[in-house]
Copies of this chain bind each other. A is one copy, B any other.
Amino acid sequence: MEGKAPIKVYMTRKLIGVAPDDTVKRACEVMVEFDIGSLVVVEEGRVVGFFTKSDIIRRVVIPGLPNTTPAKDIMSSELIAVDENTPLREVLDLMAKKGIKHMLIEEKGKIVGIFSLSDLLTASRRKLETAIAAE
């Protein structure tokens, strides 16, 4: 990995989302189907919320809410995002500081992708392969 490279090189550009009224059960099924740890909540083409598996643990399982709870009741409306040109190093620092494993990525103020620790795994393996090939 190159710490100065912009995060857009590593992020996943495909945003997977649910509607505000979709149930937690539906959201979980989408997460399992796509093997992802977070979802955006989309209303009229705009990202209005975000939540992770951890949020489901914290806001649904621990308080014992039913899996019919709508996504809008458990999503975070305050979105943490960085510009797509932010260097990887800065993004990793910010994620570690905030204790988060997913970061939304913006292009000109609009959310266009997400970077997660799984993307970091992909990047690390690529980098290790390159390093070992060069030996």
Whether A125 lies near B101 (C-beta < 8 A) is no
| In the complex, A16 has a CB within 8 A of chain B | no
Q: Footprint of B on A, CB under 8 Å?
A: 1, 3, 24-25, 28-29, 31-32, 35, 37, 53-54, 56-58, 60-62, 64, 66-67, 88-89, 92-93, 95-96, 99, 101, 117-118, 120-122, 124-125, 127-128, 131-132
21 contacts between A and B (CB under 8 A): A1-B127, A3-B131, A25-B62, A25-B64, A28-B61, A28-B62, A29-B62, A32-B58, A35-B99, A37-B54, A53-B57, A56-B61, A64-B67, A89-B128, A93-B125, A96-B121, A101-B117, A101-B118, A101-B121, A117-B121, A120-B120
